[in-house]
Chain A
Amino acid sequence: MATPSVLVKDVTLNYGAVEVLKKLNIEVADGEFIVLLGPSGCGKSTLLNCIAGLLDVSDGQIFIKGKNVTWHEPKDRGIGMVFQSYALYPQMTVEGNLSFGLKNAGLPKDEIARRIARAASILQIEPLLQRRPAALSGGQRQRVAIGRALVRDVDVFLFDEPLSNLDAKLRSELRVEIKRLHQTLGNTMIYVTHDQIEAMTLADRIAVMKGGMIQQLDRPQAIYSRPVNLFVAGFIGSPGMNFLQGHLDTRDGMPVFKLDGIEIPLATYAFDGEGFAAKPAVFGMRPEHVGLNMGSDWPFSAEATIEVVEPMGSDTLVWTRLGTQNFAIRVGSERAPAVGDRVTLGFDPLRASLFDSASGMRL
């Protein structure tokens, strides 16, 4: 098996009595783009800082390119880092910012010039080299910050929410550029964000974090369609997944999900692990997987009244009830019903996610 580019082994970090990272393990393959995704305070930035060497771990080991770097200084770890606030040195020109690390490393002048020229051409910041950061726009600053990591000619790039300070339009532009950069350079990249769109679009694999632990580490599509627990299911997807409280039962030997007198047949649902057992459960269904007035060939369909309509441009989110519980449906805006309409909704339990009410784990 190939040496992993970055290997985090049993890393624990405590601030006094608070455990920020709990025996965390993650393995990143060479050239892989990993996104650490989670709500604020989940430890994702802390983990990145530990990998960078800016924070000392309380326990565990970190390997980069097969070398144990747990006690190495950040500069000796073979990493480049891009920060949310750009962190450009305000008193230096763009060129000074790019060359600072190289000068510290004692590189010869012509090598520094060569590397800056290469980074500047990749990022298209050549005209800005003699300017100071104050004279740059947000997007240009972030480009320079990426350039500073680029000139270091390292194996691993670390991004700490690099796009969070930019406006929506610029964010999507730079997102594409980062993806392009990754395809061009083929470096390993570890990227921290709380934005699931960034995570879904950029990642080879996403690590969803909560409370200092990785909840699920998988390809974006797998995380979207087969979340391992209630937290991941609720965190991924916008608008969020519908959760219906009820319990599992059988009818005529087939598993069903019962809520408020309604029965959803689960013949098409693929149970995980231990499989079916009659117990309280949560039925999750994404709003975009529900059909509205689409005939009756769904395994499950029901009548409902539209209560609230939220137009979002391309789509419209309509709120109704299944039994007594809120239920959202995402429909194309041209087919959006009006408030008070009686509709028939239908879905295939194949696309559902079932969770144990007690443990929150996928069934």
Chain B
Amino acid sequence: MSNPATLAVTVAGAAAIQPELSGPRGPRPRIAFSRRNIFIYGTLIFAAIYYLIPLYVMVVTSLKGMPEIRLGNIFSPPMEITFEPWVKAWATACTGLNCDGLSRGFWNSVRITVPSVVVSIVVASINGYALANWRFKGAEIFFTILIVGAFIPYQVMIYPIVIVLREIGLYGSLTGLVIVHSIFGMPILTLLFRNYFASLPEELFKAARVDGAGFWGIYFRIMAPMSLPIFVVAVILQVTGIWNDFLFGVVYTKPDTYPMTVQLNNIVNSVQGVKEYNVNMAATLITGLVPLVIYFISGKLFVRGIAAGAVKG
């Protein structure tokens, strides 16, 4: 319903500024090639190329035969595409005494990563939940100790852990390494979960208590189902962290149980014979594939979770 009086006023007002009426109207036009756009896109494209060139070189090299590599044109695409280096890296490359390629290390890494990720996330999420929602006596002290733990350099603890593992008879076994990874993931994951749970509305927790849910009931029925993003973040952090770990792998396992990263190093750094660059590149790519796939699958959730669990308090 338009008011005639208001309309009349509008028209009269417009008449008073007649010359200006033909001026700009609606959204301001945008220039595609403004100086600002050229600068922004130029910088982004340059940075992208800078980071992609090594990957490009690796992929091309891994698809070339040795004779072609010896020509020395590392940037040129392969004249003859061959997947032999990939097969060799996976199945027949020699590391020390074994000549079954990376496959052994891959399965070792899987057997290390999966239980470590599951155990560390389950324990850390329960820790974080208890710290955030059940302010038990000594919670602050416990939390402080955990935070301090996150800042102690790993190197300090290597030897004591060797002794501990030897004493309980787990030194050199995969179980021992799983325990080490689970423990070292604890501080940062607990912090992550605590902050996420603390950001959930406290009234939900109170409502669940009035509804008679206990410690586990609230965790499994209320908190955990609401926390998918932070669980995804934790999975990504742990999978990439543990998969890429080299130090603990080389210290706490034996050649038979070496994880993939240690095996990769042994292939690439072998001193006898010809340096097979194509096999090395293929082996490196295979090793990096797992974290890469994880990122691609869960990228969106990862960003959401990181934003939600941003470190505070």
On A, residues with C-beta under 8 Å from B are: 49, 52-54, 73-75, 79-81, 83-85, 87-91, 100-101, 104-105, 148, 152, 160
B59-67, B73-81, B199-207: which lies at the interface: B199-207
Find A104's partner among B201, B204, B212, B225 (CB 8 Å cutoff): B212
- Measured CA separation A182–B206 after assembly (Å): 23
A-side contacts of B211, CB under 8 Å = 75, 100-101, 104, 148, 152
- Interface SS of B by simple majority: helix
Q: Once the chains are docked, how many angstroms separate the CA of A104 from the CA of B222? A: 13
Chain B residues with CB under 8 Å of A53's CB are 209
Interface size on B, residues (CB 8 A): 16
Q: Which residues of B contact A105 (CB under 8 A)?
A: 212
**B87 touches A (CB below 8 Å):** no
Q: Which of B170-217 contact A (CB under 8 A)?
A: 201, 203-204, 206-213, 217
Closest to A91 in B: B225
* B206 adjacent to A83 (CB under 8 Å): yes
Given contacts A91-B226, A100-B221, A104-B217, contact A54 B210 (CB under 8 A): yes
Roughly how many angstroms separate A80 CA and B210 CA in the complex, as a whole number?
Answer: 7
Which of B207, B217, B221, B226 contacts A83, CB < 8 Å?
B207
The answer to whether B206 and A81 touch across the interface, beta carbons within 8 angstroms, is yes
Which residues of chain B come closer than 8 Å to A73, judged between CB atoms? 209, 212
Query: Is B225 touching A85 in the complex (CB atoms < 8 A)?
Result: no
Q: How many angstroms between the C-alpha atoms of A83 and B221 in the bound complex?
A: 19
Q: Are B212 and A101 neighbours in the complex by a CB distance under 8 Å? A: yes
Can you list 18 residue pairs at the A/B interface with Cβ under 8 Å? A49-B206, A54-B209, A54-B210, A73-B212, A74-B209, A75-B210, A79-B210, A81-B210, A84-B203, A85-B203, A88-B207, A89-B208, A89-B221, A91-B225, A91-B226, A101-B212, A101-B213, A148-B207
Instruction: Name the B residues within 8 Å of A80 (CB-CB).
Output: 210
Q: What is the minimal beta-carbon distance from A105 to any residue of chain B, in angstroms?
A: 6
Shortest CB distance A272–B (Å)? 41
Q: Known contacts A89-B222, A90-B226; is A100 also within 8 Å of B213 by CB?
A: yes
Q: Which residue of B lies closest to A100 (CB)?
A: B211
* Chain A-chain B contacts (Cβ-Cβ < 8 Å), number: 59
Inter-chain contacts of A90 with B (CB < 8 A): 226
Residues in B whose Cβ lies below 8 Å from that of A88 = 207
Complex formed: what's the CA distance from A53 to B211 in Å?
Answer: 12
What separation, in Å, do the CA atoms of A54 and B218 have in the docked complex? 14
- Which chain A residues border B212 with CB–CB below 8 Å? 73-75, 101, 104-105
| Across-interface contacts of A85 in B (CB, < 8 A) | 201, 203
Known: A75-B212, A104-B212. A87 touches B206 (CB 8 A): yes
Nearest chain A CB to B313 CB, angstrom units: 17
Taken together as a complex, chains A and B put the C-alpha atoms of A74 and B210 apart, in Å, by 5
**Inter-chain pairs besides A91-B226, A101-B213, 4 sampled, C-beta below 8 Å:** A75-B209, A89-B204, A100-B208, A101-B211
A54 to chain B, nearest CB (A): 5
Q: Are B225 and A81 in contact (CB under 8 A)?
A: no
CB-CB under 8 A from A91, the residues of chain B are 225-226
Evaluate contact between B206 and A54: CB separation under 8 angstroms.
Answer: yes
Task: Point out the residues of chain A lying under 8 angstroms from B225, CB to CB.
Answer: 91
Q: Are B204 and A87 in contact (CB under 8 A)?
A: yes
Which residues of the other chain, A, contact B208 by a CB distance below 8 angstroms?
Answer: 89, 100
- The minimal Cβ–Cβ distance linking B54 to chain A, given in whole angstroms, is 44
Q: Would you call B203 and A87 a contact (CB within 8 A)?
A: yes
A-B complex: 9 closest residue pairs judged by Cβ atoms:
A101-B211, A75-B212, A87-B203, A104-B212, A87-B207, A83-B203, A91-B225, A74-B210, A81-B210
**Residues in chain A near residue B226, CB distance under 8 A:** 90-91
Q: Which of B89-105 contact A (CB under 8 A)?
A: none
Q: A89-B222, A91-B226 known; A101 and B203 CB under 8 Å? A: no
CB distance from B23 to the nearest CB of A (A): 39
Compute how far the CA of A200 lies from the CA of B211 in the bound complex, rounded to whole angstroms.
30
- Distance in angstroms between the alpha carbons of A88 and B226 in the assembled complex: 12
Nearest-CB distance from A269 to chain B (Å)? Answer: 47
Whole-angstrom distance between the Cβ of B231 and the nearest chain A Cβ: 14
Chain B residue numbers with a CB within 8 Å of A87 are 201, 203-204, 206-207
